[in-house]
Amino acid sequence: MAASVPIVAACGGVGVVRVYDLPMPSRHRHTIRTCRIGTVDYAETATLQRSLRAAREAGAIEDVLLVLEHEPVITCGPRTQAHEVAYARSTDIPVVAVERGGGATYHGPRQVVMYPIFDLAIADDDVKELVWRLEEAMIVALEAHGVTSERRNGYPGVWVDADLPSARKIASLGLRLTRGVTFHGLAVNVACDLTPFTWFTPCGIPDAVMTSVARELGMEDASPELLDVLVRSVSERIERELLSQFDSDAQNVGVDDLRLVAMRHHVDDPDLALPGEPRHRGATRIDLHAVGAPTA
Protein backbone atom coordinates (compact mmCIF):
# COMPACT_ATOMS: atom_id res chain seq x y z
CA MET A 1 0.00 0.00 0.00
CA ALA A 2 1.27 3.45 -0.86
CA ALA A 3 2.33 5.64 2.01
CA SER A 4 0.84 9.09 2.56
CA VAL A 5 2.22 12.47 3.48
CA PRO A 6 0.20 14.65 5.89
CA ILE A 7 -0.34 18.18 4.59
CA VAL A 8 -1.42 20.58 7.35
CA ALA A 9 -3.15 23.87 6.62
CA ALA A 10 -4.63 26.48 8.93
CA CYS A 11 -8.21 27.35 7.96
CA GLY A 12 -10.08 30.59 8.25
CA GLY A 13 -7.78 32.14 10.82
CA VAL A 14 -9.84 30.59 13.65
CA GLY A 15 -7.35 28.05 14.88
CA VAL A 16 -8.89 25.11 13.00
CA VAL A 17 -6.36 22.73 11.51
CA ARG A 18 -7.13 20.26 8.74
CA VAL A 19 -4.86 17.41 7.74
CA TYR A 20 -4.71 16.38 4.10
CA ASP A 21 -3.17 13.05 3.18
CA LEU A 22 -1.63 13.00 -0.30
CA PRO A 23 -0.82 9.45 -1.44
CA MET A 24 2.83 8.95 -2.28
CA PRO A 25 3.56 7.13 -5.56
CA SER A 26 4.82 3.59 -5.70
CA ARG A 27 8.56 3.16 -5.22
CA HIS A 28 8.72 0.50 -7.91
CA ARG A 29 8.50 2.93 -10.82
CA HIS A 30 9.10 6.67 -10.96
CA THR A 31 5.92 8.73 -10.86
CA ILE A 32 5.42 12.32 -11.97
CA ARG A 33 2.50 14.17 -10.44
CA THR A 34 0.70 15.91 -13.29
CA CYS A 35 -1.49 18.93 -12.66
CA ARG A 36 -3.61 20.35 -15.48
CA ILE A 37 -4.50 23.87 -14.43
CA GLY A 38 -6.21 25.41 -17.47
CA THR A 39 -5.67 29.03 -18.50
CA VAL A 40 -4.09 31.03 -15.69
CA ASP A 41 -2.33 34.27 -14.86
CA TYR A 42 1.44 34.13 -15.32
CA ALA A 43 2.49 35.85 -12.09
CA GLU A 44 0.29 33.59 -9.97
CA THR A 45 1.78 30.49 -11.55
CA ALA A 46 5.35 31.76 -11.14
CA THR A 47 4.71 32.26 -7.43
CA LEU A 48 3.30 28.74 -7.13
CA GLN A 49 6.30 27.29 -8.96
CA ARG A 50 8.79 28.89 -6.60
CA SER A 51 7.15 27.39 -3.55
CA LEU A 52 6.71 23.98 -5.18
CA ARG A 53 10.39 24.02 -6.11
CA ALA A 54 11.23 24.61 -2.45
CA ALA A 55 8.86 21.80 -1.45
CA ARG A 56 10.53 19.43 -3.94
CA GLU A 57 13.95 20.35 -2.58
CA ALA A 58 12.72 19.59 0.94
CA GLY A 59 11.36 16.21 -0.18
CA ALA A 60 7.78 17.20 0.67
CA ILE A 61 6.51 16.27 -2.80
CA GLU A 62 7.61 14.13 -5.71
CA ASP A 63 8.38 15.49 -9.19
CA VAL A 64 5.55 17.66 -10.50
CA LEU A 65 4.56 18.66 -14.04
CA LEU A 66 2.27 21.68 -14.38
CA VAL A 67 0.32 21.70 -17.65
CA LEU A 68 -1.44 24.95 -18.58
CA GLU A 69 -2.02 27.93 -20.82
CA HIS A 70 -1.40 31.54 -19.88
CA GLU A 71 -3.32 34.75 -20.23
CA PRO A 72 -1.36 36.99 -22.68
CA VAL A 73 2.00 38.03 -21.22
CA ILE A 74 5.54 38.77 -22.40
CA THR A 75 8.25 37.51 -20.07
CA CYS A 76 11.86 38.70 -19.98
CA GLY A 77 14.70 36.46 -18.88
CA PRO A 78 17.89 38.03 -17.50
CA ARG A 79 19.56 38.14 -20.94
CA THR A 80 16.89 40.45 -22.34
CA GLN A 81 18.14 43.86 -23.47
CA ALA A 82 16.05 47.01 -23.02
CA HIS A 83 15.75 47.70 -26.75
CA GLU A 84 14.48 44.18 -27.39
CA VAL A 85 11.22 44.78 -25.51
CA ALA A 86 10.87 48.57 -25.72
CA TYR A 87 7.99 48.52 -28.20
CA ALA A 88 6.29 45.62 -26.42
CA ARG A 89 6.13 47.74 -23.28
CA SER A 90 4.01 50.30 -25.12
CA THR A 91 1.29 47.69 -25.77
CA ASP A 92 -1.49 46.47 -23.50
CA ILE A 93 0.12 43.08 -22.85
CA PRO A 94 1.91 42.86 -19.48
CA VAL A 95 5.70 42.60 -19.66
CA VAL A 96 7.27 40.92 -16.63
CA ALA A 97 10.77 39.97 -15.56
CA VAL A 98 11.49 36.34 -14.68
CA GLU A 99 14.47 34.43 -13.35
CA ARG A 100 14.51 31.64 -15.96
CA GLY A 101 17.20 31.40 -18.61
CA GLY A 102 16.95 33.02 -22.02
CA GLY A 103 15.54 36.27 -23.37
CA ALA A 104 12.01 37.50 -24.00
CA THR A 105 9.09 35.36 -25.10
CA TYR A 106 5.31 35.49 -25.33
CA HIS A 107 2.72 33.28 -23.67
CA GLY A 108 -0.96 33.25 -24.53
CA PRO A 109 -4.08 31.14 -25.03
CA ARG A 110 -3.73 28.05 -27.25
CA GLN A 111 -0.02 27.82 -26.48
CA VAL A 112 0.81 24.67 -24.51
CA VAL A 113 3.00 25.46 -21.50
CA MET A 114 4.55 22.87 -19.19
CA TYR A 115 6.58 23.51 -16.06
CA PRO A 116 8.61 20.50 -14.87
CA ILE A 117 9.44 20.85 -11.20
CA PHE A 118 11.89 17.97 -11.23
CA ASP A 119 14.80 16.86 -9.12
CA LEU A 120 17.71 16.68 -11.55
CA ALA A 121 18.21 13.06 -10.52
CA ILE A 122 15.42 12.26 -13.00
CA ALA A 123 18.00 12.91 -15.74
CA ASP A 124 21.01 11.36 -13.98
CA ASP A 125 21.98 14.78 -12.58
CA ASP A 126 22.83 15.93 -16.11
CA VAL A 127 21.37 19.28 -17.18
CA LYS A 128 22.13 18.69 -20.86
CA GLU A 129 20.41 15.33 -20.70
CA LEU A 130 17.36 16.92 -19.10
CA VAL A 131 17.14 19.57 -21.83
CA TRP A 132 17.64 16.97 -24.57
CA ARG A 133 14.77 14.84 -23.23
CA LEU A 134 12.42 17.82 -22.93
CA GLU A 135 13.21 18.83 -26.50
CA GLU A 136 12.83 15.25 -27.72
CA ALA A 137 9.37 14.97 -26.18
CA MET A 138 8.27 18.06 -28.10
CA ILE A 139 9.85 16.90 -31.36
CA VAL A 140 8.17 13.48 -31.21
CA ALA A 141 4.81 14.98 -30.27
CA LEU A 142 4.94 17.49 -33.12
CA GLU A 143 5.91 14.78 -35.60
CA ALA A 144 2.83 12.82 -34.51
CA HIS A 145 0.74 15.83 -35.53
CA GLY A 146 2.31 16.18 -38.95
CA VAL A 147 4.95 18.81 -38.16
CA THR A 148 8.59 17.83 -38.59
CA SER A 149 10.84 19.77 -36.23
CA GLU A 150 14.34 19.51 -34.84
CA ARG A 151 17.02 21.18 -32.78
CA ARG A 152 18.96 24.06 -34.30
CA ASN A 153 22.67 24.19 -33.58
CA GLY A 154 23.49 27.11 -31.31
CA TYR A 155 19.85 27.98 -30.60
CA PRO A 156 17.58 26.65 -27.85
CA GLY A 157 14.13 25.25 -28.39
CA VAL A 158 12.62 23.41 -31.34
CA TRP A 159 12.58 24.63 -34.94
CA VAL A 160 10.96 23.83 -38.28
CA ASP A 161 13.36 23.75 -41.26
CA ALA A 162 16.15 24.36 -38.76
CA ASP A 163 18.99 24.17 -41.31
CA LEU A 164 17.36 26.40 -43.91
CA PRO A 165 17.29 30.21 -44.24
CA SER A 166 13.54 29.90 -43.63
CA ALA A 167 14.01 28.38 -40.16
CA ARG A 168 10.99 28.95 -37.90
CA LYS A 169 10.82 28.51 -34.14
CA ILE A 170 7.82 26.54 -32.92
CA ALA A 171 8.72 25.79 -29.31
CA SER A 172 10.75 27.54 -26.61
CA LEU A 173 12.58 26.21 -23.59
CA GLY A 174 13.71 28.23 -20.58
CA LEU A 175 14.60 26.63 -17.26
CA ARG A 176 15.91 27.62 -13.88
CA LEU A 177 17.87 25.13 -11.79
CA THR A 178 18.17 25.88 -8.08
CA ARG A 179 19.71 23.43 -5.59
CA GLY A 180 19.21 20.55 -7.98
CA VAL A 181 15.53 21.22 -8.74
CA THR A 182 14.17 22.70 -11.98
CA PHE A 183 11.30 25.07 -12.57
CA HIS A 184 9.96 27.21 -15.42
CA GLY A 185 9.97 25.12 -18.60
CA LEU A 186 8.69 24.79 -22.15
CA ALA A 187 6.12 26.43 -24.41
CA VAL A 188 4.81 25.05 -27.71
CA ASN A 189 2.97 27.32 -30.12
CA VAL A 190 -0.04 25.26 -31.13
CA ALA A 191 -2.69 27.72 -32.28
CA CYS A 192 -1.80 30.90 -30.40
CA ASP A 193 -1.80 34.42 -31.82
CA LEU A 194 1.72 34.95 -33.20
CA THR A 195 1.38 38.72 -33.59
CA PRO A 196 2.82 39.64 -30.16
CA PHE A 197 6.08 37.89 -31.10
CA THR A 198 6.63 40.69 -33.64
CA TRP A 199 6.58 43.33 -30.88
CA PHE A 200 9.91 42.26 -29.36
CA THR A 201 13.04 40.26 -30.17
CA PRO A 202 12.07 36.64 -29.46
CA CYS A 203 14.65 34.87 -27.33
CA GLY A 204 17.15 37.62 -28.18
CA ILE A 205 17.40 36.36 -31.79
CA PRO A 206 16.96 39.39 -34.12
CA ASP A 207 15.94 37.38 -37.18
CA ALA A 208 13.82 34.77 -35.39
CA VAL A 209 10.58 33.90 -37.15
CA MET A 210 7.96 32.27 -34.94
CA THR A 211 5.47 29.69 -36.17
CA SER A 212 2.80 27.40 -34.76
CA VAL A 213 1.35 23.96 -35.37
CA ALA A 214 -1.77 25.56 -36.82
CA ARG A 215 0.25 27.71 -39.21
CA GLU A 216 2.41 24.81 -40.38
CA LEU A 217 -0.71 22.71 -41.02
CA GLY A 218 -2.61 25.53 -42.72
CA MET A 219 -5.23 25.54 -39.94
CA GLU A 220 -5.04 29.13 -38.69
CA ASP A 221 -8.53 29.86 -40.06
CA ALA A 222 -10.06 26.70 -38.59
CA SER A 223 -12.98 27.00 -36.18
CA PRO A 224 -12.21 27.76 -32.52
CA GLU A 225 -13.63 24.37 -31.60
CA LEU A 226 -11.26 22.55 -33.95
CA LEU A 227 -8.29 24.59 -32.72
CA ASP A 228 -9.17 23.73 -29.13
CA VAL A 229 -9.18 20.04 -30.09
CA LEU A 230 -5.74 20.50 -31.67
CA VAL A 231 -4.38 22.16 -28.53
CA ARG A 232 -5.65 19.35 -26.30
CA SER A 233 -4.27 16.70 -28.61
CA VAL A 234 -0.80 18.26 -28.77
CA SER A 235 -0.75 18.83 -25.01
CA GLU A 236 -1.72 15.24 -24.25
CA ARG A 237 0.89 13.88 -26.67
CA ILE A 238 3.71 16.03 -25.24
CA GLU A 239 2.76 14.90 -21.75
CA ARG A 240 2.82 11.27 -22.86
CA GLU A 241 6.20 11.68 -24.52
CA LEU A 242 7.64 13.39 -21.42
CA LEU A 243 6.58 10.47 -19.29
CA SER A 244 8.21 8.13 -21.80
CA GLN A 245 11.45 10.13 -21.87
CA PHE A 246 11.73 9.90 -18.09
CA ASP A 247 10.43 6.32 -17.84
CA SER A 248 7.66 7.50 -15.54
CA ASP A 249 3.99 7.04 -14.82
CA ALA A 250 1.59 9.92 -14.29
CA GLN A 251 -0.42 10.53 -11.17
CA ASN A 252 -2.98 13.31 -11.45
CA VAL A 253 -3.02 15.88 -8.67
CA GLY A 254 -5.30 18.87 -8.19
CA VAL A 255 -4.01 22.41 -8.12
CA ASP A 256 -5.65 23.00 -4.74
CA ASP A 257 -3.59 20.16 -3.27
CA LEU A 258 -0.43 21.72 -4.67
CA ARG A 259 -1.39 25.12 -3.29
CA LEU A 260 -1.66 23.57 0.16
CA VAL A 261 1.85 22.18 -0.22
CA ALA A 262 3.05 25.60 -1.43
CA MET A 263 1.57 27.26 1.65
CA ARG A 264 3.91 25.23 3.86
CA HIS A 265 6.95 26.09 1.74
CA HIS A 266 6.28 29.73 0.98
CA VAL A 267 8.99 31.54 -0.97
CA ASP A 268 8.91 35.30 -1.50
CA ASP A 269 8.90 36.38 -5.12
CA PRO A 270 12.37 37.58 -6.20
CA ASP A 271 13.04 41.29 -6.54
CA LEU A 272 13.31 41.35 -10.31
CA ALA A 273 13.45 44.36 -12.64
CA LEU A 274 12.75 44.73 -16.32
CA PRO A 275 15.74 45.50 -18.55
CA GLY A 276 16.64 49.17 -18.41
CA GLU A 277 15.19 49.69 -14.94
CA PRO A 278 16.99 49.90 -11.58
CA ARG A 279 16.65 46.70 -9.57
CA HIS A 280 13.98 47.62 -7.06
CA ARG A 281 10.22 47.47 -6.89
CA GLY A 282 8.29 50.46 -8.15
CA ALA A 283 11.07 51.41 -10.55
CA THR A 284 10.42 54.02 -13.21
CA ARG A 285 9.55 52.63 -16.64
CA ILE A 286 12.18 53.06 -19.32
CA ASP A 287 11.88 55.94 -21.76
CA LEU A 288 10.71 54.35 -25.00
CA HIS A 289 11.99 57.25 -27.10
CA ALA A 290 15.44 56.98 -25.57
CA VAL A 291 15.85 53.44 -26.90
CA GLY A 292 14.43 54.18 -30.33
CA ALA A 293 11.08 52.43 -29.92
CA PRO A 294 8.40 53.06 -32.54
CA THR A 295 5.94 55.71 -31.46
CA ALA A 296 2.99 54.50 -33.53
Residues 65 and 185: their CA atoms lie apart, in Å, by 10
Measured between alpha carbons, how far is 46 from 269 in angstroms, rounded to an integer? Answer: 8
Contacts of 23 (CB under 8 A, 6+ apart): 2, 3, 4, 251
Q: Which residues contact 265 (CB under 8 A, 6 or more apart)?
A: 51, 52, 54, 55, 58, 60
76 is catalytic: no
Indicate which residue of 35, 76, 192, 203 is catalytic. 203
Give the start-end residues of each E strand in the chain: 4-11, 16-23, 31-40, 64-70, 73-76, 95-97, 104-107, 111-117, 150-152, 155-160, 168-178, 181-189, 249-252
| DSSP-assigned states of every residue in 42-101 | HHHHHHHHHHHHHHHHTTSS--EEEEEEESSEEEE-TT--HHHHTTGGGSSS-EEE-SSS
Start-to-end CA distance of the chain, whole Å, equals 64
Residues annotated as part of the active site = 203
